[in-house]
Amino acid sequence: VDTVDTETAQLLTNSIVVKSRRMSRRVSVTSLPTGLQKCPGNPSKKKQFCKLLKSRDKKKTKSPSRRPSIMTVSKLQSEVDELLVDVANKSLRLLATRQAELRQCETLGQEVLASTKHFQKVSSRSARRLRWGFLCFFCCCCKDCC
């Protein structure tokens, strides 16, 4: 046999669920709890239960008094506000670090661009020198290659 206990407490002003609890337990039919066990040995009193067992169980099985929820709407609202402030602070820190990373990437990109321009200039100069180095000029006076 499955038994399910549910309990919800609501604030009627804002209809917000403050506390929700669902508890399920399984009870076996073959073994009775100690408070419901029959007295051994006396068949004429089948319907009576042991008084000793009941008196022992009353002390043990006192159901704990359910305390009302400590959280109120104002406390919940203050916690939500604190969480929002924390999230805002963390997001500002993340934005600052991302901006610093972007600036660093921009400077690295400018350095790479400058070095590629310098490399192009140097390579074009060396290419010009190599082109002119393989050409032969004839000398007008001696008709030889210089």
9-18, 20-29, 104-113 — which one is most confidently predicted on average?
104-113
pLDDT of residue 111: 92
Residue partners of 34: CB distance under 8 A and separation at least 6: 53, 56, 57
pLDDT of residue 47: 47
* Sequence spans of domains, the chain: 2-61, 82-117
pLDDT digits 0-9 by tens, 100-129: 999 999 999 999 999 998 888 888 877 777
CA angle 57, 61, 64 (to 5 degrees): 160
The DSSP code for 49 is B
Answer for the pair 37, 53: CB distance below 8 angstroms, yes or no. yes
Distance CA(14)–CA(5), nearest Å, equals: 25
pLDDT of residue 100: 94
